[in-house]
Amino acid sequence: MLIEVDANTFGQYFYNDAHPFNSKAFIELNKAKVDKIVRLVENTDKPEMGLVAGIRNNILLSPFSAPFGGFHFKKENMYSDRIDAFMLFLKEYIRSNNYTEFRITLPPDIYHQTFNAKCVNSLNRAGFLSQIPEVTSWINLSSVGDTYKHTKSSNYYRQAQRNHLVFTQAFSESEKAEAYRLICENRAKFDRPIYMTLDDLKQMEGLWTVDFFKVTTSGGEMLASAVFYRWGINMVYGVFWGDNEQGRPLRAMDFLLLNLWHFYKQKGFKYVDLGISTEDGIPNIGLLRFKETHEAVSSVRYRFILKEKE
């Protein structure tokens, strides 16, 4: 069976987080967004697997305020029968506590492919309903060269160079605010929601490094911007990016992204997580194509649900 433990006890069992959205600090920062946080482990002296989830409207959620959640675990290559046992215990816990629903979104495979594969298999066999997976994209920085592999993107990048565009980090508060405003305007133009305020992004700076970038004309006019998180030594997470009407014909986004890949590659990072290009599993065709023609590889991000009467 599964039991609920406090944050300190859970941290003693699982001192390495599977990813930053599952970290104690991130959970604490966002705990007010749910009615309660539960930390679940097997009722044993040495639990190998755990789950942190939020409860809202009697629904158990992982994540409850992040792109993805998922499980904690001792080692990625843990035996599949131990994962199977946890899933059955989880199903029993959900129903014995009369939750109307359970929802979970697993992280992309770049975080822990081996463990993910066994979880997806086990969740399906345990009777959790697989929803349409989201399509997520990522960059393997070791494969990034001097220009884009896609011919049109490479040509656009050379056009941007001829337009004398300038790529830099935005350090001042006024620059960051301007970069954020540009992204908000871009999202509004394409009817894409933005779920974080500038103050929300500043709160994240207490958990990890938040980088702001900008592309400008040689005269200093901002044409495109981006916000990225640095996670540990291997991973970078793309939060937002966008250009404006002036930047589009000057190929500001093509210039921005390749410079971003070079920036993080030079700093020793291995991967850039670009997030999903789908909405409830339905692809945003243009966004997905844009990522793929700018060095990204696409894979799936799995989602599961369990309802009380299923």
Same domain, 13 and 123: yes
| Bridge partners of residue 215, in order along the sequence | 167, 224
Same domain, 191 and 117: no
Does 212 fall in a domain?
yes
One-letter amino acid at 94 equals I
Contact (CB, 8 A) for 230 and 208: yes
* Structural domain range at position 125: 2-130
Same domain, 287 and 164: yes
The Cα–Cα gap between 210 and 204 comes to 7
CATH code: domain of residue 193 = 3.40.630.30
Same domain, 178 and 123: no
Structure confidence at residue 309 (pLDDT):
64
Same domain, 126 and 33: yes
- Contact partners, residue 120, CB within 8 Å, separation at least 6: 106, 130, 302
Q: Answer with the one of 88, 114, 130 that is the final residue of a domain.
A: 130
Same domain, 223 and 267: yes
The Cα–Cα gap between 162 and 164 comes to 5
Number of domains in the chain: 2
Same domain, 115 and 166: no
Same domain, 107 and 235: no
Cα dihedral value 116, 119, 125, 127, nearest 10: -110
Same domain, 111 and 143: no
Does 309 fall in a domain?
no
Same domain, 37 and 149: no
The Cα–Cα gap between 126 and 86 comes to 10
Same domain, 28 and 162: no
Model's pTM, two decimal places?
0.96
Same domain, 73 and 184: no
pLDDT in tens, the chain (310 residues): 999 999 999 999 999 999 999 999 999 999 999 999 999 999 999 999 999 999 999 999 999 999 999 999 999 999 999 999 999 999 999 999 999 999 999 999 999 999 999 999 999 999 999 999 999 999 999 999 999 999 999 999 999 999 999 999 999 999 999 999 999 999 999 888 899 999 999 999 999 999 999 999 999 999 999 999 999 889 999 999 999 999 999 999 999 999 999 999 999 999 999 999 999 999 999 999 999 999 999 999 999 999 976 5
The Cα–Cα gap between 304 and 266 comes to 37
Structure confidence at residue 308 (pLDDT):
76
CATH code: domain of residue 53 = 3.40.630
